[in-house]
Amino acid sequence: MSLDYYETLEINRNATDADIKKAYRRLALKFHPSSNTKPGSYEKFIQLGEAYDVLSDLRKKATYDKFGVEGLKGGIPAEFGSGGAWSSKYAYHGNPEKTFKQFFGGDNPFADFYTSDTPLQFGNLQPVVVKTQDSPIERDLHLSLDDLFHGCTKKIKISRRVMNDDGHTSSIKDKILTIDVKSGWKEGTRIIFSKEGDQGPNNIPADIVFIVREKSHPLFVRQHNDLIYKVKISLGMALTGFSVDVQTLDGRLLTIPISDIVHPTYKKELSGEGMPLSQDPSKRGNLIITFDIQFPVSLSTERKHLIKQALDFIQ
């Protein structure tokens, strides 16, 4: 039984070129081996390729319309030609995938059927979707100096959109993210939770990024890995000596004697009493004690005279 190309494409002989393309588009997708594994579907896919190959070409179509499959493949009958059979016999190349890709164009024949909102589906065949990742979601993580000194664990609840099992609808669900704060972390440290943002059918979820923000402390100011401790002293203490008590972040009480003359730029530095180093918490920065010298607001004439005498004696 001869192959009827019009019947194969389910169109009539008056079909236009647009009708032929539309019919092939619909049926080729329906019987493509990736979407239809029923017995006989691949044979149908081959027939569709051959039918389209003939009917989409004006010369082949004209020959087929006038002489049928026999005339197209075997040559024009002798009574219609001056030199016997037509020399240009048609033979389908037999590669329906080649026809399919030539029709749709490129290596992704389903690109024309993809929209940014909804990918169309043909049977079980899914279009190739190039997903892009959403921009990172950044949130501040406020930590005390004690948290950053000792390290701690923070649990943060987030609400995000997740895809349901059907792959098309979504819902809002809560999730607990656990952050293990390491000793010595600094302001600006970034903790990244990969792909924990909102899910969607056509996107890669965003990363959630927490950025360490250091809270102020009543006693210490952090400077890199060092701790700055400021003490108010009188002018008399600055000149005659004194001791400073410092309650450390790890609960120790340090008593530091100051026997030097404390001038306005004087600092007392204690090695290894600062913040732990994040790379090696066994090592620490320094504790730097600075001084705010409280000068008297006013002095009587007598006291000025006494101070002058004392300073003259020192010189």
What is the residue extent of each domain of the chain? 5-113, 133-214, 220-314
pLDDT at 68 over 80: yes
* Structure confidence at residue 186 (pLDDT): 94
Mean pLDDT over the full length of the chain: 84
Q: What amino acid occupies position 276? A: P
Q: Do 220-314 and 5-113 fall under one CATH topology?
A: no
pLDDT at 151 over 90: yes
Work out the burial of residue 169: count CB atoms within 10 Å of its CB; fewer than 13 is exposed, 13-18 middle, 19 or more buried: exposed
pLDDT at 23 over 90: yes
Which of 30, 49, 31, 48 has the alpha carbon at shortest distance from 40? Answer: 31
pLDDT digits (tens, 9 = 90+) for 111-125: 444 433 444 444 444
CATH 1.10.287.110 fits 5-113, yes or no: yes
* Structure confidence at residue 69 (pLDDT): 87
pLDDT digits (tens, 9 = 90+) for 168-216: 788 899 999 999 999 999 999 999 999 998 888 778 899 999 999 999 9
Which of 193, 196, 197, 195 has the alpha carbon at shortest distance from 180? Answer: 193
* Structure confidence at residue 253 (pLDDT): 95
Relative to beta strand 253-258, strand 242-247 is antiparallel
**Euclidean distance between CA atoms 214 and 217, whole angstroms:** 9
What separation in angstroms does the CA of 240 have from each of 28, 39, 100, 136, 233?
99, 104, 97, 58, 11
* Structure confidence at residue 304 (pLDDT): 81
**Euclidean distance between CA atoms 199 and 206, whole angstroms:** 8
**Euclidean distance between CA atoms 88 and 76, whole angstroms:** 9
What separation in angstroms does the CA of 68 have from each of 18, 54, 214?
22, 11, 85
pLDDT digits (tens, 9 = 90+) for 272-292: 999 999 989 889 999 999 999
Homologous superfamily (CATH) of 133-214 is: Urease metallochaperone UreE, N-terminal domain (2.60.260.20)
| Confidence (pTM) | 0.55
* Structure confidence at residue 11 (pLDDT): 94
CATH 2.60.260.20 fits 220-314, yes or no: yes
| Average pLDDT rounded to a whole number, residues 294-303 | 84
| Average pLDDT rounded to a whole number, residues 7-27 | 92
